[in-house]
Amino acid sequence: MNETVTKKMMLFFPRCECEKPIIYHLVKDHNLVVNVYRAKVTPEEEGYLVLDVTGTEDDIERAMAFVKTFNVTINCTGKGVTWDESRCTHCGYCITHCPTDALYIADEATREVAFNEADCIECLACIRVCPFGACASAF
Amino acid sequence: MKTYQQINDRIESGKAVVLTADEIIGYVEKKGLAAAAEEVDVVTTATFGPMCSSGCVLNFGHSKPKIRMSEAWVEDVLVYTGLAAVDVYLGATQLRHADPANMYHPGEFRYGGGHVIEDLVAGKTLQLFALSYGTDCYPRREIRTYFTIEDLNQATMVNPRNCYQNYNVAINDSDKTIYTYMGLLEPNRRNANYCSAGQLSPLLNDPYYETIGMGTKVWLAGAHGHVYAEGTQHAGAVARTPAGVPKGGAGTLALTADMKQMRPEVVRGVSLLGYGVSLALGIGIPIPVLNEQILKRTCVRDRDILAPVVDYGTDYPQNTGRVIGHVNYEQLRSGRIKVEGKDVAVGSLSSYCKALETANLLADEIRAGDFQLARPIASLAKENKMKPLVIRQKEP
Ligand code: SF4
Ligand code: SF4
């Protein structure tokens, strides 16, 4: 139970929860290593935060229970950047712009492109360059 | 030796042997050229990529009372009305009204002519707004209505230039990022982009235009269309490899087909950051195996096709004609090329994956007896060169 794992997630903070130092507590009280990819507070004072946390399963579980007490929505599936397979033409244009190979050639013979969400650091380069609008950001 | 008639008879009886330009390479290697030429009837070629010189003629039919449209917009995208009363031409690269273009550089160009064409083929409801000065026969001065492709009398794609035989590899020698129709190019040769289906591409499999000419039947985004003319900027007289493969642009095709028969997944609007909008199309062209020579040329491989590396920082915009060097499509498809000793990451604007899909769809249709070949009624020019635009003073 003491093995450390890394989990990527997107947190959504409704209005008024933005100013609380939640990340500080994740590190200090729950022994987590936090890696923030992207954060944004909208003009409506809602907050989005995409991060990964590294720690033991137990610590992560306790930390998430703590985060939930702030009325924060935790989304571990649909993260900040999405790739719509049905809109992707598999041109491969984004590949040279993706710094982590999260978008990659999955099949050398057909040149089919695939997206590995876990490797995406949310730099948003693909959203800027994809000519077919296949990549999008949740915020 | 086979004739078009013999091949069409075999297609009709459901017995035609059809391979894609990708499959034929290994097949000929295994069977030998002579045996394969006997057996194989058709080789299907294809491409999928942005083709800026595309558009369509739409006929709306007449409202009550009638209008002779003198200015018109579909989904706020301007269409050309210098035709008969309710005929318009919608071009792929037309921007949407009030698009800031590159005012805030680089512009995003999220929606334009290419996207209207995509939506039209996808069966979406679109807005038409048109104005007129009014005449005795066409009194209406303004109209706003909503329509789908099914409401139109005709929706005919008329593309002055598709299927460039070969194309440049774009690179940037300057010291700032540039935004081109060949994509985003980072400074000092940090990346490169290409745009061709290589060994699958129609005119690279018929480099001397022996079977692809005016009247050749084509699969244009799922519709059965044809080559109606040589494409604009068609230039058959270019440098070629000993096997006849052009080492640059060369031939082009002007294509037409009924949009009501098209498949939306291969009619796609394109947004090019800092450049503009366009339309990507999937196009398949069958090559009849009339003799061994024709078959041999369809066996062209990515490694035998050379593309010129061109600087889009200065040389392309200034029309200097300089070519940095040549690379082949096997290298391009590997994702890395060497340009004057430097290792450069390379991306593609055309989709080999979709081109392969298209070549297979066309092959299936031919095997099923649903697609007959047409003999060209005239050949494409092999000797013409591309002329520049000369800036002259008016003669006194
Ligand atoms: S650039 Fe867009 S369409 Fe092309 S492979 Fe990447 S995500 Fe797909
Ligand atoms: S956001 Fe950045 S890291 Fe993620 S897939 Fe797009 S280019 Fe790659």
CA angle (B336, B341, B347) in 5-degree steps: 20
User: Does A105 sit within 8 Å of B272, measured CB to CB?
Assistant: no
Structure confidence at residue B114 as a pLDDT band (50, 70, 90): very high
Residue A104 tokens read as 């990659």
Nearest to B191 among A91, A96, A131 (CB): A96
How far, in whole angstroms, is CA B322 from its chain's centroid?
Answer: 25
B83 and chain A in contact, CB less than 8 A: no
Q: Per-residue pLDDT averaged across B227-255, rounded?
A: 95
Q: Domain spans of chain A? A: 4-75, 81-137
Secondary-structure percent of chain A, ordered helix, strand, coil, rounded to 5: 25, 35, 45
Contacts of B246 (CB under 8 A, 6+ apart): B165, B166, B204, B207, B238, B239, B240
Strand partners, B288: B42
Question: What pLDDT score was predicted for residue A23?
Answer: 87
Fold classified for A81-137:
Alpha-Beta Plaits (3.30.70)
pTM score: 0.94
Nearest to A92 among B50, B280, B347 (CB): B347
pLDDT greater than 90 at residue B338: yes
Q: How would you classify the pairing of strands B191-194 and B342-348?
A: parallel
Q: Is A81 in the pocket of ligand 1 (CB under 6 A)?
A: no
H/E stretch holding B89? strand B87-91
CA angle (A114, B48, B213) in 5-degree steps: 160
Question: What pLDDT score was predicted for residue A78?
Answer: 66
Q: Return d(Cα B343, Cα B341) in angstroms, integer.
A: 7
Question: What pLDDT score was predicted for residue B336?
Answer: 96
Q: Return d(Cα B135, Cα B70) in angstroms, integer.
A: 11
Residue type (1 letter), B127: Q
Strand partners, B255: B159, B227
Residue B265 tokens read as 């997944």
Q: Return d(Cα B190, Cα B171) in angstroms, integer.
A: 8
Question: What pLDDT score was predicted for residue A77?
Answer: 76
For the four alpha carbons of B120, B164, B359 and B275, in that order, the dihedral sign comes to: negative
Question: Is the bond preceding residue B246 a cis peptide, omega within 30 degrees?
Answer: no
Q: Return d(Cα B389, Cα B265) in angstroms, integer.
A: 37
Q: Per-residue pLDDT averaged across B59-82, rounded?
A: 98
Question: Is the bond preceding residue B65 a cis peptide, omega within 30 degrees?
Answer: yes
Q: Return d(Cα B233, Cα B52) in angstroms, integer.
A: 13
Cα–Cα nearest to A47, from A78, A24, A69, A70: A70
Nearest to A93 among B48, B268, B349 (CB): B349
pLDDT digit string (tens) for chain A, length 139 residues: 578 999 988 988 887 666 778 889 889 999 999 999 999 888 888 888 999 999 999 999 999 999 888 888 898 876 789 999 999 999 999 999 999 999 999 999 999 999 999 899 999 999 999 999 999 998 8
User: Does A112 sit within 8 Å of B350, measured CB to CB?
Assistant: no
Residues 188-217, chain B: which have Cβ within 8 Å of A?
191, 193
Q: Return d(Cα B376, Cα B285) in angstroms, integer.
A: 13
User: Does A113 sit within 8 Å of B353, measured CB to CB?
Assistant: yes
Structure confidence at residue B106 as a pLDDT band (50, 70, 90): very high
Smallest-distance ligand from the CA of A103: 2
H/E stretch holding B333? helix B329-333
- Are A81 and A124 contacting, i.e. CB atoms less than 8 angstroms apart? yes
Smallest-distance ligand from the CA of A89: 1
Residue B21, φ and ψ in degrees, nearest 5 = -65, -20
Q: What is the pLDDT of residues B126-179, one digit of tens each?
A: 999 999 999 999 999 999 999 999 999 999 999 999 999 999 999 999 999 999
CATH of domain A4-75: 3.30.70.260
Structure confidence at residue B355 as a pLDDT band (50, 70, 90): very high
Structure confidence at residue B266 as a pLDDT band (50, 70, 90): very high
Q: Is A53 in the pocket of ligand 1 (CB under 6 A)?
A: no
For chain B, give the mean pLDDT: 97
**Which residues of chain B neighbour A93 with C-beta distances below 8 Å?**
183, 193, 347-349
What share of chain B in percent tops pLDDT 70? 100
Q: What is the pLDDT of residues B29-64, one digit of tens each?
A: 999 999 999 999 999 999 999 999 999 999 999 999
Spacing, Cα A127 to ligand 2 middle (Å): 8
pLDDT greater than 80 at residue B378: yes
A14 and chain B in contact, CB less than 8 A: no
